[in-house]
Amino acid sequence: MELRTVDHPLVAHKLTALRDRTTDSPTFRRLTEELVTLLAYEATRNVRVIPRTVETPLQTAVGVKLSPPRPLVVPILRAGLGMLEGMSRLMPTAEVGFVGMIRDEETLLATTYAERLPSDLTGRQCYILDPMLATGGTLGSAVQFLVKRGADHITCICLIAAPEGIARLTELLDELHVPCTLVLAGLDEKLNDVGYILPGLGDAGDRLYGVV
Ligand code: URA
């Protein structure tokens, strides 16, 4: 797995504001979208393109366009939903599929409670959105899900990751033999004993949408 932690002062500035416990939900949502747009620029570096020529007012220009089949963006509900707008802004023609996953707060195991994805993902490049890579259970299950359906290129976009989650994802991906890139805004220190990232930003879903 290729790991890219985006090293940019604007990303660091926005991430710091996001971590701040006094940042309210509307600001948290806006910062998340802005951060994801910045990360998406890096995450789509290997998006497939094909040649295309256009007529400028002066002559023919040789360029490119996104290659079919359309890339698939998959936010993991609930917190990944807060990242969708920021991603769609950069790649508006991508298709969007949804996976709902919940983590059991005692076992830390992820279970799928909803899924709306194309049944055949053969040859598709997929971009998974999940703000917090903690134990790696949720993201790992989502990657397995997409690869089983035929996805052949996976990019995970997370705001923050813990080393424990990266290790687990790396182990899993070694078995799957599908190229995968993980793009982050920040790599944190560790997990606490209930699976939260330290220093982290708390519960991303709650901070985006409130406690339900
Ligand atoms: N999920 C979150 O929202 N925050 C964490 O720190 C870990 C998992």
Q: What is the pLDDT of residues 197-212, one digit of tens each?
A: 999 999 999 999 988 7
Q: Is pLDDT at 142 greater than 90 in this prediction?
A: yes
Are the C-beta atoms of residues 102 and 75 closer than 8 Å to each other?
no
Q: What's the chain's average pLDDT?
A: 95
Confidence class for position 22, pLDDT limits 50, 70, 90: very high
Over residues 25-53, the mean pLDDT reads 98
> Is-contact 71 127, C-beta < 8 A?
yes
Residue 132 in contact with ligand 1 by CB distance below 6 A: yes
Per-residue CA distances from 55 to 9, 60, 61, 65, 125 (Å): 38, 4, 6, 14, 29
Confidence (pLDDT) at 102: 82
CATH architecture of 2-209: 3-Layer(aba) Sandwich (3.40)
Mutate which of 109, 160, 196, 208 for ligand 1 pocket (most atoms within 8 A of beta carbon): 196
Q: Does any ligand 1 atom lie closer than 6 A to the CB of residue 134?
A: yes
Structure letter (DSSP) for residue 106: T
Q: What is the pLDDT of residue 44?
A: 98
User: What is the structure's pLDDT at 103?
Assistant: 76
Residue 109 to residue 162: CA distance in whole angstroms: 16
Ligand 1 contacts CB of residue 209 (under 6 A): no
For residues 52 and 55, give the distance between their C-alpha atoms in angstroms, rounded to a whole number: 10
Closest C-alpha to 186, from 84, 35, 1, 43: 35
Residue 72 CA, ligand 1 centroid: distance in Å: 24
CA atoms of 80 and 97, how far apart (whole Å) = 12
Residue 183 has pLDDT above 90, yes or no: yes
Which whole number is the average pLDDT over 34-53?
98
Residue 189 has pLDDT above 80, yes or no: yes
Please list the residues that pair with 101 across neighbouring strands.
112
96-125 confidence digits (pLDDT tens): 999 998 878 788 788 889 999 999 999 999
* pLDDT higher than 90, residue 188: yes
Q: How far is the CA of 123 from the centre of ligand 1 (A)?
A: 31
pLDDT at 105: 77
- Give the residue whose CA is nearest to atom 2 of ligand 1: 203
208 lines ligand 1 (CB under 6 A): no
Task: Give the C-alpha separation, 158 to 207, whole Å.
Answer: 16
- Percentage of residues of the chain with pLDDT beyond 90: 91
Q: Does ligand 1 come within 6 angstroms of the Cβ of 200?
A: yes
